[in-house]
Amino acid sequence: MLDSTINDNYSGGVADLISTNSSVINSTIDGNQQVIGQFSDNCGVLNSIRSLGFEMRNSSISNNNLPVRAAVDLWVTNMATIENSAISGNTAQAAGGMIIYDYNRKLLNQISHTTVNNNEGYGSGGVYVTAQQSGVLAISHTITSGNTQLVPSPGPSLNPSVVSGQLLSQQDFSEVGQGAIVNVGGATPNDLYGTAYVPMDSFKVIDQNGDGDTAGGVLLGPGDTIPPGATSTVIDGLADNGGDSQTHMPVEGGLAVDGGTPFNYLPHEDQNYRIRPWDGDGDTTEVCDVGAVEFRSVTESDLIFKDGFQATILIRRTLVKN
């Protein structure tokens, strides 16, 4: 699926079922809803289920409202890649942003240069991971911040497992009822719920306000950071920043700017197809930003001197590798 927009549907978004090498590239999936009782209500708005080689790149998944799972749902998927994308403003029961359900898969799934922000869910506001063993998941250069774990109001209709933060069955959710998404007694930030096999120390920005309120055995590594302030000190809200899909622009001086590694195996362009890495903090060293967008970067075509009347000539002195 290339250069596409999937929006304002009432039966989910995109389903990738038992496929090989399928892709969502440079696309927007926005404002979709699901109705309880349909086949799709146990899926995310972008699903890859028992597939091999699924990828999502340079895309925006935003403002979707789901009765059960998550905006992006990788369910028993091998060799999935999520890269240069924004997952923002979604609401779901199990996880607002993304579920990665490994179920003893043995081939690597990778998430890099992705921004997960402003999502809401009961199991986790941001990302919910169930890895069964080490070496099957890599998460790097990704922002998971400013998401909210919803807390259901106590009542006779609620199944206790809803409160416990476990992955729930359709029966559990049907007991909650259609009003469960808005029937909340309070909310606490929760950006990542995972098992012991969630890889850390990979240049990520997690949580906000120094909270470190991840759950399920997730421990931060030396290369990961927690903003001392709100997420707004790291990234701006989802907006049109000149690309084909909406993005979260890093805030000048924030942790995301030049917060990653020098370029090696990482994608050489950001979500807006601008050069990565780029010297965003002005120290003359080109380092990748954390998240989907490189601060103040330009396209390759902007480096070409055309007519002699530009006010500024951009010269790149270091080699750009693919």
Distance CA 316, CA 136 (A): 37
Distance CA 153, CA 49 (A): 32
With vertex at residue 165, the alpha carbon angle to CA 164 and CA 171, rounded to the nearest 5 degrees, is 85
Highest mean pLDDT among 19-23, 58-62, 77-81, 220-224: 58-62
Q: Which residue has the higher pLDDT, 114 or 303?
A: 114
| Segment holding 69, helix H or strand E | none
Using an 8 Å Cβ cutoff, are 184 and 155 in contact? no
- What tens digit of pLDDT does each residue of 198-212 get? 666 688 898 888 876
- What tens digit of pLDDT does each residue of 25-81 get? 999 999 998 776 655 556 778 989 888 999 999 999 999 988 778 899 988 888 899
Q: For residue 134, give the amino acid letter.
A: S
Residue 85 half-sphere exposure toward CB, CA atoms < 13 A: 27
- What tens digit of pLDDT does each residue of 293-307 get? 999 999 888 876 545
Q: For residue 64, give the amino acid letter.
A: N
Tell me the pTM: 0.83
